[in-house]
């Protein structure tokens, strides 16, 4: 009987999960860039994703200072959501893939 190497299996599974998180992050960021209103392109170009390999999490956001004002609006400007719709669309696709 072959020896079971639990540590090697854990590393392999973690590697696969991190790869999936990267793919999800890239996909949501791409959708957000497509949905983002473009005036100068700086907001769209600031959309990024970061994978935390230790916690197995992915964060998607925009680094441009106007990001939250565009997404949520202000008292002078109506919201133009791009991140939340991208996340909702990606979540729908992921649910379908899991069933």
User: pLDDT per residue over 6-55, tens digit each?
Assistant: 888 999 999 999 999 999 999 999 999 999 999 999 999 999 999 999 99
pTM summary value: 0.86
CB–CB of 21/90 below 8 Å? no
**Torsion-angle region of residue 73: left (phi > 0), alpha (psi -120 to 50) or beta?**
left
Q: How far from chain centre, in Å, is Cα 15?
A: 18
Banded model confidence at residue 2, pLDDT cuts 50, 70, 90: low
Would you say 64 and 44 are in contact if contact means Cβ atoms under 8 Å apart?
A: no
């Amino acid at each position: 009987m072959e020896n079971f190497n639990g540590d090697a299996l854990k590393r392999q599974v973690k590697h696969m999960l991190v790869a999936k998180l990267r793919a999800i992050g890239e996909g949501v960021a791409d959708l957000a860039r497509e949905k983002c209103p473009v005036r100068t392109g700086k907001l769209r170009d600031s959309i990024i994703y970061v994978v935390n390999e230790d916690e197995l999490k992915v964060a998607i956001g925009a680094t441009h200072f106007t990001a939250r004002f565009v997404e949520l609006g202000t008292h002078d400007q109506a919201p133009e959501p791009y991140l939340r719709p991208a996340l909702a669309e990606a979540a729908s696709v992921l649910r379908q893939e899991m069933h």
